Amino acid sequence: MKRKFVVFCLLFVLFVSSCGGAQEKHTVVYVRSLKYYLPFMHKYAKAWASDSYLISADIPIEATGHPRDLLRMSVGFVAPSREGTIFVVYLYSDDTYETQTFSHTRPISQETPILEQDWSLDSIDAFDLLFDSKERVTFDGRPKEYLICSSLKLIRRYQVKNQLAWILTSSTCGKNTRYIYLDPKTGERLTPED
């Protein structure tokens, strides 16, 4: 009796699930978590220079169904002990890391560090807030090139009182570039002049 009931329930579930109409495929657009990956990336920077600190993060917008081999998260660090160089850690979509040091002939001014307490919104939270905004950025049906040229950045806006901001950049690789700014602590939208 019990066995017949289990078989009946299983058949019923299979029947109900097969009766659903054709499901529409949606592109799921997302970014990776900076808060999750930053400690790993910072270990590389600390090995380069123990006094290194974060100055920027560039997180690609990824989408299901799009090849991601060209996409990589990059995080930049500088250090007072390594004047004239910037250290960048890259994270690829297959979770492999690569580092690169860039030297400059002119001195690089030491920038205001981006500290963990300066941004309470992770990249995922910021992306969700920006994506739900009135000026919604639509990525469904866009070619791969559109995703490659679009990203979410955490940087200081020196033209606006050294203000830290999440900046969503959406572009078609050459024209029609849009920027949307977000306060990384409060989640409030910022204007370019704020």
Domain containing 127 equals 29-190
Residue 41: pLDDT band with limits 50, 70, 90: very high
Residue 14 falls within a domain, yes or no? no
Per-residue pLDDT, 135:
43
> Could you tell me if residue 38 is inside a domain?
yes
pTM exceeds cut of 0.85:
no
Looking at the 3D structure of the chain, how many domains does it have?
1
pLDDT interval class at 177 (50, 70, 90): confident
Task: Confirm whether 11 is domain-assigned.
Answer: no
Task: Classify residue 13: in a domain, yes or no.
Answer: no
DSSP the chain: -HHHHHHHHHHHHHHHHHTSPPPPP---EE---HHHHHHHHHHHHHHH-TT-EEEEEEEE-EETTS--TT-EEEEEEE-GGGTTEEEEEEEETTS-EEEEEEE-SSPPPPPPP--GGG--S-HHHHHHHHHTSTTPPP-TT--HHHHHT-EEEEEEETTTTTEEEEEEEE-SSSS--EEEEE-TTT--EE-TT-
In a domain, 12, yes or no: no
In a domain, 2, yes or no: no
Q: Is the pLDDT of residue 168 over 90?
A: no
